[in-house]
Structure 1
Amino acid sequence: MIGRLIAGRYELSTVIGQGGMGQVWTAYDRRLDRRVAVKLLRPDRVAGGEDASELRQRFDRECRVTAQVDHPGLVTVHDAGSDGDELYLVMQYVEGADLGDHLAEHDPYPWPWAVAVAAQLCAVLSAVHAVPIVHRDLKPRNVMVRPDGTLTVLDLGVASVMDTDTTRLTHTGSPIGSPAYMAPEQAMGGAVGPRTDLYALGVLLHELLSGQVPFAGATALGVLHRHLYEAPVPLRQLRAEVPEPLESLVLRLLAKDPQHRPAGAQDVYRELASLLPAPGPAQPAPGPMDPTRPFLRPHAPWPDRPAPPPANPGPAPAPAAAGADLATAVDEVKRLLDAGRITQAVDMLGGIIPAAAERHGEGSPVLRTLRKQYAATLMEDGQYRRALPELRRLSEQFAGQYGGADRQALQFRYEAAQCLEQLGDTRAALTEYRVLLPYFEQYAATDPGVPLGIRRRIGQLLLSVGDRAGAREVLTRLLYDAERVHGPHHPFPAEVRRTLAWLVQVQG
């Protein structure tokens, strides 16, 4: 394997990480003569042969979405694709130590360091959740501490590919992820959102401050059972010098019900800010790679490295669609979509629509067609925040013209509910799905897929808000109907059956 060339460009050198889904290697980029990190993933080890091609498509999509997130606390993704039976992800090589090793080298971990680590992670999560993306696997091994004390978060998007609506559980019935850091709703196969990452942050903070995760056990099932039913030990009982506000914050981050956790990463950062060191001269640190340094001396150059010269960005490019003929621009959008260049197509459609509205009028068929394509492309690109108002506008237009029960109006409303779910507005999405279900059940005789899918989403959202009894009832009835429609061996009822089995197992 050493010396293997990936994509004709990246020469593998040394294994630096290994897990059930694949390996991480240091490698050399022959074209640009630089060291990089290459993650190799085996789809067949996660999804089974029949789902491997679908997983590859999701992998490509997630790489596109995560590449849009620009934050200094996130590892830069250089390239992605497939090589033989494996998917590969090429990232910047990050110098330093992972947070797990950093904690082991500094025991006990100074509590101001823990605050600084959590604050930096909140800054990253705030940017990630705004996309919106949920990391799903935040843990010390996915966080690097660089020599200047700054943190870099790894594996954004990879867990999202491996933990989707159809692959929340492996073929063995076990949840995908790291049980020690897994929120109750994630463990139960429910819908995940930004507060799922905040729970993992709470576990990580508890570990930094006490030296141990709040819930441990001999088996994954035992650990997840404790996440669901046991309260964490307050930190000040384990370490008296931990400030009371910090103990209180960790307990709220570890709330079983996502609605009882802080509203978002920005709110957590604000609570941590009062405990952060004030900017000023660097103080003697108890060891190298002090994570409080970015707050003591923001953006200060490293002592042994010169400050980088200021960048010269040059003139900004003109908008792609500026001055272009509308028909020509529409043809260019189609070409971009056929080539898989989704982000460019989104930008061009966003430029076309105002010109089309001015030329043809807001109610014209031309503009409506463009808005439908724009909304669909935003959904494909994972830009749910921008897609939501477009879908609502389309739903209202069709409902106003054809009535609220119009199939197209309902479809746009259904897609808007999916946006709400992806944006973490769990209760609003649950309400919308429940309202829409009776309408779509009218079409069940000719198209049973949508109502069955809505019922599964309702079950998953009920799990995410802690209503396990309600979820079990919904999923039990869904399993009966899904087997009747698809047969017992179809992937859809098989997945529902595994979720129910896991629910029963965890609940005991």
Structure 2
Amino acid sequence: MKGRLLAGRYELVTLIGQGGMGQVWAAHDRTLDRQVAVKLLRPDRISGPEQSDELRRRFGRECRVTAQVDHPGLVTVHDAACEGEDLYLVMQHVRGADLAEHLAEHEPYPWPWAVAVAAQLCPVLAAVHAVPAVHRDLKPRNVMVRPDGTLVVLDLGLVTVLGADTTRLTLTGSHIGSPAYMAPEQALGEEVGPRTDLYSLGVILHELLGGTVPFARPTPLAVLHQHLHEAPVPLRRLRPEVPEPLEDLVLRLLAKDPRDRPADAAEVHRALEPLLPAAVPSALDGPGVPMDPTRPFRQPYAPWHGGPPPRPPRPSAPAPAAAGPTPAAPGAAAPTTTGNADLAAAVEEAKRLLDTGRITDAVDVLGDALTAAARTHGPHATVVHMLRRQYAATLMEAGRFHAALPELRLLAERSAADAGPTDPQTLRLRIEAAQCLDRLGDHTAALAELRSLVPQLHPLDSTDPALALETRHRTAQLLLATGDHAGARTVLTGRPTG
């Protein structure tokens, strides 16, 4: 499946998730040169013609509903089509961490963050309910926290379109949601509505504030029994600092009878508003406060990291003379003052763009500067090597591993020729190339590269011990995935099993 090309433009790169509705792949859109996410209908979930038709209807409905909901908090749909027997949905690739990972990294989760998360999810749910539709599978793994603190809901795979003429699409024996987040009426197979999603929102709030879902048992059936018959523990018993109105709201959201829950997402948002932080437009951002979900309320519409400064014109390559300049050979004289000024301006502009989160623009600036420098000064000039290093690093930061890999290989080859194969810089470049292979899903090639590097890591043990340890750890992980437990132990400990 890896490397498959859909519609002549979407190249599947890495499998990043799978569930009852299909597989999700990180992919490369060759036409627009960007990273996207592709959701494929899983053929192995189709066991007969009747189920096949039903599953295709459900998948098509997800595509249509996702495209109809116009809200920045819901993942954007780029394309939807079929190829052979497979259906696929192309969506934006969202950078950041999912809400479950964000919670794990920040326990105990600050209660203002939990309020901000719920307040961001309410408008998304209101937009879905206005279709009218019901999400039915709202959970932390389906919510991404972006670096600027904004939230994006990823998956409408179990969406139910409301209306008398809509056939209910639930495959016999298939999962219809996540038990830990499932409302009682959904667990019983009864009619679901917008308040079903509000119950799931209550479970998420309880988990963020209390550190665990309100109902947790070893089996899904036991969890569903709790949803139906047991009351959740009030949050202030777990965390006394939680405001009483917030505890009351969570208990209302978790009411067994939908009629006892808030009427709609707008009512929930109104209850959350007094608990949200006040706007502070003059506050500054910085790397020390990443992925803070209160930021959209503290600094509404504020550019990330304070916003970009006025952008100067992109530096252009010097115009060649009539006879054309002769490329400089290795060791040739330093570039001209004018050439240095142009390149310095390009590097400075790229830095400003990176500081303001405009990674794609920074890639373009550095790519143009690299091409101009190589044409003017020759491919082996020091300035070209410097630009190529920055260009490769920026490509990796942008997730464009296809493009970064050949640049890193060129850099490693040059470094090995100049300083030797065990020079720390050479080793770092080869490790980054292996990381690209790993991120592209070519684990076999990545493992081969890393295994060849492990015996040579001794210079990094003293100069960059964290990188050396990370390399050994990832090599051991890949070896374990192949079943080579003895090899993994040797890599980690330096001692073979015996």
TM-score, normalised by the number of residues in structure 2:
0.58
**Per-residue deviation at 1:166?**
4.7
Rounded Cα–Cα distance in structure 1 between residues aligned with 2:232 and 2:104: 22
Rounded Cα–Cα distance in structure 2 between residues aligned with 1:21 and 1:62: 10
**Per-residue deviation at 1:89?**
1.1
Q: Deviations over 1:318-339 (max 9, x none)?
A: xxxxxxxxxxxxxxxxxxxxxx
Secondary structure at 2:133 match in 1: coil
- Counting aligned pairs with the same residue, the percent is 73
**Contact 2:148–2:292, Cα closer than 8 Å, also in 1:** yes
Query: Any gaps of 5 or more consecutive residues in structure 2?
Result: 312-498
Q: Residue 292 of structure 1 aligns with which residue?
A: 294
Rounded Cα–Cα distance in structure 1 between residues aligned with 2:309 and 2:124: 24
Q: Deviations over 1:180-211 (max 9, x none)?
A: 10111111111111001000000000000011
Q: Residue 135 of structure 1 aligns with which residue?
A: 135
Secondary structure at 2:279 match in 1: coil
Secondary structure at 2:45 match in 1: helix
**Contact 2:99–2:145, Cα closer than 8 Å, also in 1:** yes
Q: Residue 326 of structure 2 aligns with which residue?
A: none
Cα distance change of structure 1 residues 187 and 143 upon mapping to structure 2, 3 Å threshold: same
Rounded Cα–Cα distance in structure 2 between residues aligned with 1:46 and 1:187: 24
Rounded Cα–Cα distance in structure 2 between residues aligned with 1:207 and 1:26: 29
Q: Residue 220 of structure 1 aligns with which residue?
A: 220
Q: Deviations over 1:68-110 (max 9, x none)?
A: 2111111101111223443211100001110000000000000
Q: Residue 324 of structure 1 aligns with which residue?
A: none
1:54 matches 2:54: yes
Rounded Cα–Cα distance in structure 2 between residues aligned with 1:183 and 1:83: 36
Q: Residue 313 of structure 1 aligns with which residue?
A: none
What letter corresponds to residue 300 of structure 1 in structure 2?
A
Cα distance change of structure 1 residues 73 and 308 upon mapping to structure 2, 3 Å threshold: farther
1:282 matches 2:286: no
Cα distance change of structure 1 residues 307 and 176 upon mapping to structure 2, 3 Å threshold: farther
Rounded Cα–Cα distance in structure 1 between residues aligned with 2:156 and 2:128: 9
**Per-residue deviation at 1:308?**
11
What letter corresponds to residue 272 of structure 1 in structure 2?
L
Q: Deviations over 1:407-465 (max 9, x none)?
A: xxxxxxxxxxxxxxxxxxxxxxxxxxxxxxxxxxxxxxxxxxxxxxxxxxxxxxxxxxx
1:323-402 to structure 2, matched below 5 A, reads: none
**Contact 1:145–1:291, Cα closer than 8 Å, also in 2:** yes
Q: Residue 394 of structure 2 aligns with which residue?
A: none
Q: Residue 95 of structure 1 aligns with which residue?
A: 95
Secondary structure at 1:24 match in 2: strand
Secondary structure at 1:144 match in 2: strand
Rounded Cα–Cα distance in structure 1 between residues aligned with 2:227 and 2:245: 23
Rounded Cα–Cα distance in structure 2 between residues aligned with 1:160 and 1:131: 10
What letter corresponds to residue 229 of structure 2 in structure 1?
Y
Secondary structure at 2:37 match in 1: strand
Rounded Cα–Cα distance in structure 1 between residues aligned with 2:172 and 2:43: 12
Cα distance change of structure 1 residues 4 and 43 upon mapping to structure 2, 3 Å threshold: closer
Which structure ranks higher in relative contact order (CA pairs < 8 Å, sequence separation ≥ 6)? Answer: 1
**Per-residue deviation at 1:113?**
0.2
Shifted more, 141-150 versus 295-304: the winner is: 295-304
Q: Residue 316 of structure 2 aligns with which residue?
A: none
**Contact 1:47–1:167, Cα closer than 8 Å, also in 2:** no
Rounded Cα–Cα distance in structure 2 between residues aligned with 1:165 and 1:240: 46
1:29 matches 2:29: yes
**Contact 1:108–1:211, Cα closer than 8 Å, also in 2:** yes
**Contact 1:282–1:293, Cα closer than 8 Å, also in 2:** no
**Per-residue deviation at 1:287?**
4.3
Rounded Cα–Cα distance in structure 1 between residues aligned with 2:283 and 2:261: 34
**Contact 1:236–1:244, Cα closer than 8 Å, also in 2:** yes
Q: Residue 113 of structure 2 aligns with which residue?
A: 113
1:193 matches 2:190: no
**Per-residue deviation at 1:217?**
1.2
Cα distance change of structure 1 residues 18 and 305 upon mapping to structure 2, 3 Å threshold: farther
Query: Any gaps of 5 or more consecutive residues in structure 1?
Result: 310-508
**Contact 2:158–2:177, Cα closer than 8 Å, also in 1:** no
Cα distance change of structure 1 residues 106 and 46 upon mapping to structure 2, 3 Å threshold: farther
**Contact 2:139–2:200, Cα closer than 8 Å, also in 1:** yes
2:304 to 302, 305, 330: 302
**Per-residue deviation at 1:17?**
1.4
Q: Deviations over 1:121-143 (max 9, x none)?
A: 00111111112121111000100
What letter corresponds to residue 262 of structure 1 in structure 2?
P
**Per-residue deviation at 1:22?**
2.5
Q: Residue 81 of structure 2 aligns with which residue?
A: 81
Q: Residue 3 of structure 2 aligns with which residue?
A: 3
Rounded Cα–Cα distance in structure 2 between residues aligned with 1:308 and 1:114: 36
**Per-residue deviation at 1:305?**
5.1
Cα distance change of structure 1 residues 165 and 221 upon mapping to structure 2, 3 Å threshold: farther
Aligned-residue RMSD, C-alpha: 2.3
What letter corresponds to residue 292 of structure 1 in structure 2?
T
Cα distance change of structure 1 residues 284 and 61 upon mapping to structure 2, 3 Å threshold: closer
Q: Deviations over 1:205-224 (max 9, x none)?
A: 00000110001111111111
Rounded Cα–Cα distance in structure 2 between residues aligned with 1:307 and 1:63: 39
Rounded Cα–Cα distance in structure 2 between residues aligned with 1:181 and 1:245: 22
Q: Residue 67 of structure 1 aligns with which residue?
A: 67
Secondary structure at 1:122 match in 2: helix
**Contact 1:43–1:55, Cα closer than 8 Å, also in 2:** no
Rounded Cα–Cα distance in structure 1 between residues aligned with 2:35 and 2:62: 24
Cα distance change of structure 1 residues 47 and 180 upon mapping to structure 2, 3 Å threshold: farther
Q: Residue 39 of structure 1 aligns with which residue?
A: 39
Q: Residue 251 of structure 1 aligns with which residue?
A: 251
Secondary structure at 1:207 match in 2: helix
Q: Residue 211 of structure 1 aligns with which residue?
A: 211
Cα distance change of structure 1 residues 246 and 17 upon mapping to structure 2, 3 Å threshold: same
**Per-residue deviation at 1:55?**
2.9
**Per-residue deviation at 1:175?**
4.1
Rounded Cα–Cα distance in structure 2 between residues aligned with 1:11 and 1:299: 34
Secondary structure at 1:128 match in 2: helix
What letter corresponds to residue 290 of structure 2 in structure 1?
P
**Per-residue deviation at 1:178?**
0.6
Q: Deviations over 1:469-492 (max 9, x none)?
A: xxxxxxxxxxxxxxxxxxxxxxxx
Cα distance change of structure 1 residues 265 and 50 upon mapping to structure 2, 3 Å threshold: same
What letter corresponds to residue 171 of structure 1 in structure 2?
T
Cα distance change of structure 1 residues 308 and 125 upon mapping to structure 2, 3 Å threshold: farther
Q: Deviations over 1:220-253 (max 9, x none)?
A: 1111111111110000011110000000000000
| Largest Rg, 1 or 2 | 2
What letter corresponds to residue 19 of structure 1 in structure 2?
G
**Per-residue deviation at 1:14?**
1.2
Q: Deviations over 1:5-37 (max 9, x none)?
A: 123221011122123443211101112221100
**Contact 1:47–1:55, Cα closer than 8 Å, also in 2:** no
What letter corresponds to residue 23 of structure 1 in structure 2?
Q
Secondary structure at 1:59 match in 2: helix
TM-score, normalised by the number of residues in structure 1:
0.57
